[in-house]
A and B are shown apart, each in its own frame.
Chain A
Amino acid sequence: MNPQPVTITFDGRPLTATAGQSVGAALASQGITAWRSTRKGGKPRGLFCGIGVCFDCLVTVDGETNQRACLVEVCEGMEVEGS
């Protein structure tokens, strides 16, 4: 059984992901490696620890700020924004 494709949006643009994937994996599979800038240096950040420990991967999911992209599972229509 192949998992279903789902469509999410990232900063307003539609993006195809696979059901069961994390938001971080969905972005990385599309070659998007960074989606956040640091407060002080404005440096780009994406996935680092991959397991919810480092908080480098924070995104806004359906309006909920500071969510870990490596932990949140994609679902149809999910709106993801970088920060």
Chain B
Amino acid sequence: MSVTVDVAVVGAGPAGLAAAVAAAEAGARVAVVDAGNQPGGQFWRHAPETVRPEPDGHGHHGWSTYLDLRARFDAAQRAGRITYLPGLQVWMAEPGFTLHTTAAVAPAGAVPVAVTADRLVLCPGGYDRQLPVPGWDLPGVMAAGGIQAFIKANGALPGKRFIIAGTGPFLLPVAAGIAEAGGEVLAVLESSSPSAWLPHLRAASGVPGKALEGAEYAAVFARHRIPYRTRSIVTEVLGSGRAEGVRTARVDADGRARPGTGRVYADVDVVGFGWGFTPQLELPVSLGVDTRLDADGSLVGVVDERQQSSVPGVYLAGEVTGVGGAALAVLEGLAAGAAAARPDSGVPVKQPAAIVRHRRFAQAMHQAHPVPAAWQDWLTPDTTVCRCEEVTAGDITEAREELGARDVRSLKSFTRAGMGWCQGRVCGFAAACLGAGPGEAPDAGSLAASAKRPLAAPVGIGELAALD
């Protein structure tokens, strides 16, 4: 099956929904491809509407924005302006543009559709960024966002007693979500220090809604007595066969464990780690868009004031232009959708002031919550780094020291790190750091090599063969 439209949108999260609505309302014929079975993306993920037809937005932020966008999305579908293609994953984007898709879940069997479009708006979002630590490959260890997604989609908890660790404001909604769903959060361990925010208060005051959100989480933390320990990390996940506890430590400003501060939390079911997010860049990179390093060390796509990338006709919105949260993703989606619908209006546009303010806030957030410079010190030689191919920190250090493998591509060929099922999505950032060496952060080139994936999703040999 195939569909031809003016504008194809990839992703139906906050950015993609907004882009689709804006493009359709500006008169374009739009197709939306999303791996999910229903709109919402990560932020507005909710239980299947086939089972719970009227989600009440419990545990969600900005739910009225979602309901507004969703009503407009549904109306545009009914009017035949939006062709919605859920349950499909784009595994390749060809210049010109054609999107090749495959069913996200084979048993559900969504029929692959090839989408041809004059313009693309790519809104694929991102996923939790991970730093390996001894024991992080034990069952019961999850991505912090994965716990949140589990709760939002299933209305249930993946365990009873939780430790949440990493850095960034996102740890707060995760812990609050667990507590409100009836789980016990033994502690939230934040590697950064609260004073890290002080230089950034001006940027924060530009986005007053965030302060309000922060106050809500503070109230939840107080109500459930959740300890929030700053300058603290998990140094090891303990357990045999599954996570049973964690060893923690206080750290200095670089993230080095301070001697004598060790502590053990026992009877832990689930350990959630989140070190910010990694934008999903394979589709933009495969189309050749210019990228840059953002303040959080992530590789992101460069866009102009219309959200257009360096490749004419390819627009980007949401986490792929820089991790900045759902409100910013919506603003960018609206701008990108409108611009993609009327690409050559010739009128210079000014970037909406709200986007500028949210971007500034996001930058401040990244600077206050950096990946600790000394995180590589936490590893032991036998700590797993690449979970798929079971490559250890020792394997990677050896490839760097003995074989001179310093970039992700050489590490891949010498150690197989990043060659498994996930294609380096989970270990890519960590492997790039390890290749760069102790205390070093990876450069854009190394991260771009890690984001280069010939296939954006695993596909069957039949689908590959069907390409001319």
Contact = CB atoms under 8 A, between A and B. Distances in A.
Interface residues of A, number: 43
Max count, chain B CB within 10 A of own CB: residue among A22, A70, A71: A71
A11 interface: no
Interface in A39-63: 39-41, 43-56, 58, 61-62
A44 B241 CA distance: 7
A50 B149 contact: yes
B59 interface: no
Interface stretch (B101-109, B326-334, B406-414): B101-109
Contacts of B421: 54-55, 58
A49 to B, nearest CB: 5
Nearest to B425: A53
B158 A55 contact: no
Nearest to A42: B390
Interface residues of B, number: 44
A58 B105 CA distance: 12
Contacts of A33: 139-140, 159, 242
Interface string A59-80: 0011010111011110000000
B50 interface: yes
A25 B422 contact: no
Given A50-B145, A54-B425, A21 B42 contact: no
A35 to B, nearest CB: 9
A55 B108 CA distance: 17
Contact of A72 (B107, B147, B149, B387): B107
Contacts of A21: 154, 156
A45 B50 CA distance: 30
A20 B48 contact: yes
Contact of A71 (B42, B105, B138, B426): B105
Contact of A61 (B107, B139, B149, B388): B107
B350 interface: no
Contacts of B422: 53-55
Contact of B426 (A3, A43, A53, A66): A53
A21 B51 CA distance: 9
A51 B146 contact: yes
A45 B143 CA distance: 14
A3 B52 contact: yes
B36 to A, nearest CB: 9
B146 A20 contact: no
A60 to B, nearest CB: 10
Max count, chain A CB within 10 A of own CB: residue among B48, B127, B158: B158
Contacts of B146: 47-51, 70
Interface string B44-74: 0001101110000000000000000000000
Closest 8 CB pairs of A and B: A50-B146, A20-B51, A55-B421, A34-B139, A25-B154, A33-B139, A46-B139, A20-B48
